[in-house]
Structure 1
């Protein structure tokens, strides 16, 4: 294999680029995870995460992918046969449903077209019908990584309250935490699920549960089998900075540095940066004459943009050309979107020039792949980044 000059462009919606500061932090000698130095590390990251989730409650860290955190959220709060309400907003919502069914939960799965978020009106109606309160939890994906569609979690909570329903609210923020505004406490979420490899700018390998008092109470009577995922066995040693089993020490070093970076930039600045990059990307897509998968502008994701490939053209073939020619990885279409969309990740450690390079690679790739498009997408994005509104943006606004 011949040498490729320059740096690989990793523009999938996660794992994302890891800042050099985080890589250097991970590259340290392993320490005694029962010693005083580790206790300081553990206490620092457990406390620092609260500001990211915007919660005053506990956050549990698992050595796992986001799938592990999904399972932990369910097994700590529910019992066999319990009914949960889920929504078909995309590939990852469907996978969470599959996991719930494997755990012997009864899933009421509201179908969707993968182009819209959670329908709050339909949610309220379904909960209002549940007079016996058989639904024990509502599970939502805040930002669907497969589609670039964001669900309105405050509207979900408002619908639950309007229906006077006591169900728990469980929310997946794997591709939104630390990239988009999210408020665990204020929005009345009971369990928030997240992973390390996206907005937190870490390698894969850590996952998280932010837990409300109501969820902790539910965990005391939940009867689904659990051992590795038990919250109580984590929370007790966590009080002194320790873990019940061997933790991912070096990833925790990286997490501490990532939290420092997020604090230095400031969450509001981070959210504004992601919003600007998402807006610029959509300006490029419109200028190319391509469709954005997300239909409702109010539900546009700030973490990624899913682009619909014109009929008769294979998104995966296009992605291969971009990878071979420009050493850039774009996100594949997942599940029933396979081959029909590609996804541009613009989250994590990312800046204006990186976005310009990414969109240049996409535009050149469209030409090489013979995909019908209009030139000028990159320029439209640059205009957006310079706060020069394009005609398309004015029309959408």
Structure 2
């Protein structure tokens, strides 16, 4: 019998759960687009996106999904025939590279693992061998949502510097922005891009690109530019040209509310919340793995993403687990893609998500394992709760043992 009636829980890595505050912000009339409130809104969004990217670089907003953000980043800094090095750790850096190749770039892929972070030494070695500096850009993702790998962006920048290479450093932050630390300026990233539908808690349809002075210098001679994506056109005085036409107003209203929520919580606190929820998820999987059927795809905990966790299933039907959680429990897990297709499922813990939501997702999985008779270690949810209890620290307000003795006495009968 299904117990799924009630509010459905979305545990997929994008689009993520949209806060009610964001949805409500979008239920309003349209604004005039040439002056006044819309100009102020755009200015405030760009300023706060700079804070989220941790940069002083120019930031651009596009009516597009993440793939559009890829094209915006590529087209503004590269010319046809330019060589780009794609540093792979799953599916999405390769996808970005494929787009660059379609647009006329000469693409080389440096294969990495679907189960571990990119080795900075391998990047340094490849760039040292490029003595003629044919490579114009290095493309990579901070978090790959297919593999669940998180890469060390600061270490990769150090590898590029150690090689003495002038290539642009371009990073996809779609699954990491507002989920884990990203320091565009401090880490020496030249171009960063992201999208609205994951950590930024806004419906799909907005992409963001931040580009520093080095990237803008490359932009001057790039010949892949088209008017829609072009940074120069979007720097014009007319407000509507910042969107190359009519702004996606209601998505912008939603984004304003989402950024306000992030600023209210504090970016450091947002990062910490994601880390705690990820650790709880990993603790649960660690217990289930004792049955030798389930395991985290990424072996080393230090290499695991804080926003999504692919769970590999060996000797059982991964899709049956997802079907059970959805039809019986009302929890939608992420399907595995790429190399993990058909043999894993993904648990997202990013964006507008809290402890009860993650514990609920994990409980649905544990219920599925029991209901389907899949071998697993008992107590996964209990391990997650213990992890959260320890990681979240002391409760707000006095603990029970700190209350005055009178407060612990049995209630008296009414007079």
**2:209 is the counterpart of 1:209:** yes
Distance in 2 (CA, whole Å) between partners of 1:252 and 1:225 is: 25
Asked if the contact 1:287/1:376 (under 8 Å) is kept, the reply is yes
Asked if the contact 2:288/2:380 (under 8 Å) is kept, the reply is yes
**2:380 is the counterpart of 1:385:** no
Distance in 1 (CA, whole Å) between partners of 2:320 and 2:3 is: 23
**2:121 is the counterpart of 1:114:** no
**1:311-350 matched pairs, under 5 angstroms:** 311=315, 313-350=316-353
**2:291 is the counterpart of 1:288:** no
Unaligned runs of 5+ in 2: 393-415
**2:304 is the counterpart of 1:300:** yes
C-alpha deviation, 1:241, in angstroms: 9.4
Which residue number corresponds to residue 156 of structure 2? 156
Which residue number corresponds to residue 62 of structure 1? 62
Which residue number corresponds to residue 31 of structure 1? 31
Which of the pair has more CA radius of gyration? 2
Distance in 2 (CA, whole Å) between partners of 1:146 and 1:3 is: 29
Which residue number corresponds to residue 268 of structure 1? 268
Distance in 1 (CA, whole Å) between partners of 2:237 and 2:353 is: 36
**1:55-204 matched pairs, under 5 angstroms:** 55-204=55-204
Distance in 1 (CA, whole Å) between partners of 2:377 and 2:258 is: 39
Distance in 2 (CA, whole Å) between partners of 1:158 and 1:369 is: 48
Distance in 2 (CA, whole Å) between partners of 1:367 and 1:3 is: 15
Cα deviation code 1:104-143 (max 9, x no counterpart): 1111101223112222100000000001000000001100
Which residue number corresponds to residue 355 of structure 1? 358
3-state SS, counterpart of residue 235 of structure 2: helix
Give the alignment's TM-score, normalised by structure 2.
Answer: 0.90
Asked if the contact 1:288/1:373 (under 8 Å) is kept, the reply is yes
Comparing 369-378 with 275-284, which one deviates more in the overlay? Answer: 369-378
Which residue number corresponds to residue 409 of structure 2? none
Comparing 200-209 with 24-33, which one deviates more in the overlay? Answer: 24-33
Rate the CA distance shift 1:110–1:388 in 2: closer, same or farther, 3 A: closer
Give RMSD over aligned pairs. 1.8
3-state SS, counterpart of residue 329 of structure 1: strand
Distance in 2 (CA, whole Å) between partners of 1:3 and 1:350 is: 22
3-state SS, counterpart of residue 30 of structure 2: coil
Give the alignment's TM-score, normalised by structure 1.
Answer: 0.94
Asked if the contact 1:42/1:238 (under 8 Å) is kept, the reply is no
Distance in 2 (CA, whole Å) between partners of 1:319 and 1:187 is: 38
3-state SS, counterpart of residue 291 of structure 1: strand
Comparing 88-97 with 374-383, which one deviates more in the overlay? Answer: 88-97
Distance in 1 (CA, whole Å) between partners of 2:91 and 2:389 is: 35
Distance in 1 (CA, whole Å) between partners of 2:326 and 2:94 is: 28
Distance in 2 (CA, whole Å) between partners of 1:117 and 1:316 is: 26
Distance in 1 (CA, whole Å) between partners of 2:257 and 2:225 is: 35
Asked if the contact 1:179/1:274 (under 8 Å) is kept, the reply is yes
3-state SS, counterpart of residue 180 of structure 2: coil
Comparing 370-379 with 120-129, which one deviates more in the overlay? Answer: 370-379
Cα deviation code 1:39-64 (max 9, x no counterpart): 11111111111100001111100000
Comparing 26-35 with 235-244, which one deviates more in the overlay? Answer: 235-244
Aligned length: 387
